[in-house]
Amino acid sequence: MQYKWKILAIAWFVNFSMWAGDVLPAVLRDSISSSLHISAEYYSFLLSLPILMMVIFSIPVGVMVTKVGTKKTATLGMLITLCAGALRGVAGNLLEFTFLTAVYGVGMAVIFPNLPKIAEAEFSKKEQALASGIYMSGLPAGAIVALIAGAILSEYVGWDICFIVYALFFVPVIPLWMKVAKDVSFKIDVRKGFSVVAKNPYLWLVSVANLTLLITYFGATTYLPSQEQLIERLGALVPVIVASISASLICGLLFLPRLSQKIGEKRAAILYQLATAIFIYIFGWCVVSGTSLVWLFSLLTGFFIGGTIPLFFAFLSKINIDTRYFGMASGIFVSVLNIGGFLAPIIAQMMDSQMGIYGVVLSFSLASVTGALLTACVKIEKSF
């Protein structure tokens, strides 16, 4: 097997392990809140806290990737998430749980900017959307395992053991990464690099467009499991229907990149985001009306979100970023996009209190429309 496919497979499992541990608290909300006496508002903050850490630390990590290299930086991030993830299972009070959740987010921040660099370094521009789709499919796969398996496992062993079990996902992947990954670093002028990268307007457009996408994606996969109207209408099926969004998202990640190349990646990103905006709002209407079409529109929503995600990661390498500064650009990109992940539950809860699920899906729908408009302004190099 070629090196690029080996490292891509390992990157997939890193994403899978990282996101499973991040989504797990959404499934264990009731038991953790009861045990540690956490209010609903504070728990929403806890769900966003790892993403906030990614916002804060991704830019410094981007510099670290450029100077130290992908292999060493990502290894450090995996060790941090492994330790913090397991220790959450022995947290004895709210302060400890909050601190360890924040540290878990720091680990995510150290890991994540490395992954776009794999596609940029090892795959041709024509292959990068497909490569991004493959490794990003690890995120929804991890979410599915957290939503369904986590809910079942917690019934037998409790929320504390669940955290320890899910942290152990990193145990096999760390030695694999250390054995297979190659370290590439550049001697660069950090100040000059930031000056060059920060002046690229398309980097900011792509980053903010992905921010809007993450509002929709993160909101749908982490806020909906606890949305009251959804629970009232679907009861125990809620984790399954949210998992169905993630499952169809994987299909979109894997199957839409080829279609995107045929119709043009920029055009595809615009169309997919507009489709997401329409389908997620219809999904909310189906929940309220009680029609079984809710399943169809959950699948369609996830499918087109999935189709959009790899395009933005591929765009990152097609907006005239010097290879030497790609780590910095990736750090800015990841930091900005994760603002959307941090805002998603906050915006959703505000809209929920005013308009119920209609307000929740409207916020996600408007975010997708905004992303489509921003994408239309980006100048993308053609793939060869």
Is residue 383 included in any domain, yes or no? no
Average pLDDT over residues 112-137: 71
Whether the CA torsion 23, 50, 18, 96 is positive or negative: it is negative
CA dihedral (311, 26, 23, 94) positive or negative:
positive
- Binned at pLDDT 50, 70 and 90, residue 382 comes out as low
DSSP 8-state class, residue 93: S
Please say if the pLDDT value at position 137 is more than 90.
no
In this structure, what DSSP letter does residue 324 have? G
Q: Convert 222-254 into a string of H (helix), E (strand) and C (coil).
A: HHHHHCHHHHHHHHHHHHHHHHHHHHHHHHHHH
Instruction: Tell me the residue range of the domain where 355 lies.
Output: 3-179+189-375
pLDDT of 359 higher than 50: yes
Note whether residue 282 is domain-resident.
yes
Q: Residue 306 pLDDT more than 80?
A: yes
Query: Is 90 exceeded by the pLDDT of residue 98?
Result: yes
CA pair distance 85, 99, nearest whole angstrom: 11
Average pLDDT over residues 308-317: 79
Residue pLDDT, tens place only, 220-250: 877 887 788 888 888 878 878 888 888 898 8
Is the residue at 384 inside a domain? Answer: no
Q: Per the domain annotation, does 382 fall within a domain? A: no
Query: Mean per-residue pLDDT for 59-74?
Result: 77
pLDDT band for 384, please (50, 70, 90 cuts).
very low
pLDDT in tens, 262-302: 888 889 999 999 999 999 999 989 888 888 898 999 999 99
75, 83, 183, 286 from 180: Cα distances, Å? 12, 22, 10, 47
Q: How confident is the model at residue 190 (pLDDT cuts 50, 70, 90)?
A: low
Give the range with max mean pLDDT: 29-33, 79-83, 127-131, 323-327: 79-83
Residues 6+ apart with CB under 8 A from 382: none
CA 173 to each of CA 68, 78, 178, 285: distance values in angstroms, whole numbers, following the listed order:
21, 9, 9, 42
pLDDT of residue 123: 73
Token pair belonging to 70: 């992908």
Q: Is the dihedral of CA 139, 343, 148, 246 positive or negative?
A: negative
Task: Give the containing element (helix H, strand E) for 217.
Answer: helix 201-218
Predicted TM-score (pTM) of this structure: 0.76
Domain count, the chain: 1
What residues have CB less than 8 Å from 231, skipping those under 6 apart?
238
Nearest to 296 by CA among 281, 278, 283: 283
Give the residue with greater pLDDT, 153 vs 125. Answer: 153
Whole-angstrom distance, CA of residue 367 vs CA of residue 363: 6
Instruction: State the average pLDDT over residues 105-115.
Output: 83
Query: Amino acid letter at 334?
Result: V
Task: Decide: 181 and 71 in contact? Cβ < 8 Å.
Answer: yes
Nearest-angstrom CA–CA distance, 89 and 147: 17
Which residues, at least 6 apart from 113, have a Cβ–Cβ distance to it below 8 Å? 58, 61, 62, 65, 73, 327, 330, 331, 333, 334
Of 168 and 149, the structure prediction assigns the larger pLDDT to: 168
Mean predicted confidence (pLDDT) in 128-157:
80
Q: Does residue 1 surpass a pLDDT of 70?
A: no
Indicate the average pLDDT of the chain.
84
d(CA 145, CA 163): 13
| Listed range (96-110, 112-126, 214-228, 297-311) with the worst mean pLDDT | 112-126
Distance CA 131, CA 125 (A): 10
The answer to whether residue 184 sits within a structural domain is no
pLDDT mean over 94-104: 94
Question: Cα(26)–Cα(17) distance, rounded to whole angstroms?
Answer: 16
Q: What percent of the chain has pLDDT over 90?
A: 24
**Predicted confidence (pLDDT) at residue 304 exceeds the cutoff of 60:** yes
Q: Is residue 133 part of a domain?
A: yes
Measure the CA–CA gap between 326 and 121, rounded to whole angstroms.
10
**What average pLDDT does the segment 91-107 reach?**
93
177 in Cβ contact with 10 (< 8 Å): yes
Task: Write the CATH number for 246.
Answer: 1.20.1250.20
Q: Tell me if 65 is assigned to some domain.
A: yes
Strands annotated E in 213-370: none
The residue that leads in pLDDT, 142 or 196, is 142
